[in-house]
C-alpha cells in the first residue's frame, strides 16, 4: 500500500480530531437531552398526578377528561377498574413504561385512602424528536468531517508549501554552479533551519568537490607526463633502422599499452569529475570506427579475422567524438580479444551502432553483470574488469542506451542507440 503524503496525512489528522470533537459533543448533547427528556416526562406526569388528586379531593365526583397526550383515570370501584385499558389493570404502585395500542406510554399509579389514580402520558412524540436529534447529530458529524477534511487539506497545503518549495529549489542545485542561499528571511523558523542545514551541507559538498577536482587535476598531470614520455621514447626508438624485429614488436606493444593507459586515465578522470571528454561536434561514424580499430589491426591480422565496417561514408552524428571513440575502442578491443576466428563487424543503421563478433560469447547467467565494475567472465583475462563498466558510465552520461546480446560459442553483439 502506497504511503500517504504529508499533506494528506495532516488533513486526515485534522479531520479525525474535528470528528472526534464533534462526535464527543454530539454524544454528550444526545445523552444530556435524553436525560433531560426523561426528567421532563417524569415531572409532567407527576404534576398531572398532583392535579388529578387535588381535583378529586375537591370534587369526589370529578371525572378526568382525556387530553392530547394524557389519559387520567380514578378507580373507586371494580366497575371503574373495568374502564381502564387492559394492560394497565394489573399495574402496581409507581412508574411504569408500557405499550397501549402500539403507542408507548409513561404510566404513574398511586393509591390514597383506597382510591387509585392512574396517569398515562404518551411519549411517542418525544421518541420521534429524539430520533430526529440523533440523525441531526450524525449529519453534523458527517458535515464536520467533510468540512474539516477540506479545511485541513487547505491548511496543510499552506504549512508544507514552504517545504515543497524548498525541495524544488534543492532539486535544481548543481554542484559548483552559482546559486542563491536556500535560507530566506520570509521562511518560517523550522523551514529556515532546514534550509540553513541544506546550505551548510551544500557548502561541504562543494568543498569536497573542489578538493577532488584539485586531486584529479594533479593526478592527470602526474600520470600523463610519464605516459607521454613513454610514448615519445617508443616513437624515437622505432625510427632506429638497426632495431630488431623482436624489439620493434615489443616497442609497438609498449606504445599501444601506453596509449590505452592514456585513454583509460582520461576516462577515469571524466568519471571522477563528471566532466565531458570533449565538446559536441559533427562526427563521421566510419572515420571514428577506423580510428578506434587502428590499434588492433595487427591483432586482427595475426588471428586472421575478417574486420567489416558496414557504415555509409556520409553517416554522421552530432555528439562527443572523444567519448564515442573511447566506447568503440573498448568494444572493438573486447571483440578482437575474445574472438579467435571468424569476424568482427561494426554496423550502423537508424541511429544505432553495433559491434558484432563471432567469438566465445557470454554465458546467460553472466549477462546481467557484464557492466559491473571488476567483473570478468574469463578469470585468465589480462584486463581488470572495468572497461565495460566505464563504457556504461560514459553512455549513461550522454544518454546513449547500450545493450548486449550474446550466445555462448557463437559471439556477442553490443549495440548503442543514440537519442
Give Cα 343 distance to the centre of its chain.
Answer: 48
Which distant-in-sequence residues (6+ apart) come within 8 Å of 390 by Cβ? 264, 267, 268, 271, 326, 330
Whether the model clears a pTM of 0.75, i.e. scores above it, the answer is: no
**Rounded CA separation 266/407 (Å):** 32
Transcribe 1-15 into DSSP letters: -PPPPHHHHHHHHHH
Whole-number mean pLDDT of the chain?
Answer: 82
Which distant-in-sequence residues (6+ apart) come within 8 Å of 256 by Cβ? 295
Compute the Cα dihedral for 370, 375, 377, 382 and give only its sign: positive
- Between these two residues, 359 and 2, which has the higher pLDDT value? 359
Percent of the chain at pLDDT > 90 equals: 23
Determine the average pLDDT of the residues in 12-20: 77
Tell me: the pLDDT tens digits for 195-207? 888 888 888 887 8
Domains 177-275 and 277-417 share a fold: no
Name the residue with cell 453534523: 140
- Look up the CATH architecture of domain 277-417: 2-Layer Sandwich (3.30)
**Rounded CA separation 17/111 (Å):** 54
Tell me: the pLDDT tens digits for 326-369? 899 999 999 998 999 999 999 999 999 999 999 999 988 888 88
Indicate the domain borders of the chain: 6-147, 177-275, 277-417
**Rounded CA separation 235/97 (Å):** 119
**Rounded CA separation 266/272 (Å):** 10
Show the cell assigned to 382: 589480462
Compute the Cα dihedral for 148, 149, 150, 155 and give only its sign: positive
- Look up the CATH architecture of domain 177-275: Orthogonal Bundle (1.10)
Confidence grade of residue 82 (pLDDT, cut at 50, 70, 90): confident
Asked whether the beta carbons of 45 and 172 are under 8 A apart, the reply is: no
Compute the Cα dihedral for 55, 61, 62, 63 and give only its sign: positive
Q: Which helix (H) or strand (E) holds 412?
A: strand 411-417
Amino acid at each position: 500500500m502506497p504511503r500517504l503524503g504529508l499533506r494528506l496525512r495532516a488533513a486526515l489528522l485534522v479531520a479525525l480530531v474535528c470528528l472526534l470533537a464533534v462526535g464527543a459533543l454530539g454524544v454528550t448533547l444526545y445523552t444530556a437531552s435524553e436525560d433531560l427528556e426523561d426528567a421532563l416526562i417524569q415531572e409532567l406526569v407527576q404534576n398531572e398526578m398532583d392535579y388529578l388528586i387535588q381535583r378529586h379531593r375537591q370534587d369526589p365526583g370529578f371525572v378526568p377528561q382525556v387530553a392530547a397526550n394524557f389519559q387520567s383515570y380514578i378507580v373507586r370501584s371494580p366497575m371503574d377498574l373495568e374502564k381502564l385499558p387492559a394492560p394497565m389493570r394489573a399495574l402496581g404502585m409507581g412508574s411504569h413504561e408500557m405499550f397501549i395500542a402500539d403507542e408507548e406510554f409513561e404510566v404513574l399509579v398511586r393509591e390514597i385512602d383506597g382510591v387509585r389514580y392512574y396517569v398515562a402520558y404518551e411519549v411517542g412524540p418525544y421518541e420521534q424528536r429524539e430520533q430526529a436529534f440523533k440523525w441531526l447529530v450524525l449529519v453534523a458529524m458527517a458535515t464536520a468531517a467533510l468540512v474539516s477534511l477540506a479545511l485541513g487539506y487547505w491548511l496543510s497545503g499552506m504549512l508544507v508549501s514552504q517545504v515543497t518549495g524548498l525541495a524544488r529549489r534543492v532539486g535544481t542545485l548543481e554542484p559548483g554552479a552559482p546559486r542563491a542561499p536556500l535560507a530566506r528571511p520570509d521562511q518560517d523558523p523550522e523551514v529556515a533551519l532546514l534550509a540553513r542545514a541544506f546550505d551548510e551541507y551544500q557548502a561541504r559538498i562543494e568543498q569536497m568537490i573542489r578538493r577532488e577536482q584539485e586531486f584529479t587535476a594533479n593526478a592527470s598531470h602526474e600520470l600523463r607526463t610519464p605516459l607521454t614520455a613513454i610514448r615519445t621514447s617508443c616513437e624515437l626508438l622505432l625510427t632506429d633502422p638497426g632495431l630488431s624485429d623482436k624489439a620493434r614488436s615489443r616497442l609497438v606493444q609498449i606504445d599501444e599499452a601506453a596509449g590505452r593507459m592514456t585513454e583509460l586515465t582520461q576516462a577515469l578522470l571524466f568519471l571522477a569529475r563528471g566532466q565531458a571528454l570533449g565538446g559536441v561536434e559533427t562526427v563521421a561514424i566510419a572515420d571514428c570506427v577506423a580510428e578506434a580499430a587502428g590499434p588492433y589491426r595487427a591483432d586482427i591480422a595475426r588471428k586472421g579475422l575478417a574486420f567489416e565496417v558496414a557504415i555509409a561514408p556520409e553517416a554522421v552524428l552530432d555528439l562527443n567524438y572523444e567519448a564515442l571513440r573511447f566506447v568503440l575502442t573498448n568494444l572493438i578491443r573486447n571483440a578482437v580479444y575474445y574472438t579467435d576466428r571468424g569476424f568482427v563487424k561494426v554496423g550502423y543503421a537508424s541511429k544505432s551502432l553495433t559491434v558484432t563478433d563471432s567469438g566465445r560469447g557470454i554465458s546467460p547467467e553472466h549477462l546481467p553483470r557484464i557492466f559491473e565494475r571488476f567483473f570478468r567472465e574469463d578469470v585468465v583475462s589480462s584486463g581488470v574488469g572495468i572497461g565495460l563498466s566505464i563504457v556504461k558510465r560514459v553512455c549513461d552520461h550522454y544518454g546513449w542506451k547500450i545493450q548486449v546480446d550474446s550466445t555462448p560459442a557463437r559471439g556477442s553483439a553490443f549495440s548503442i542507440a543514440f537519442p
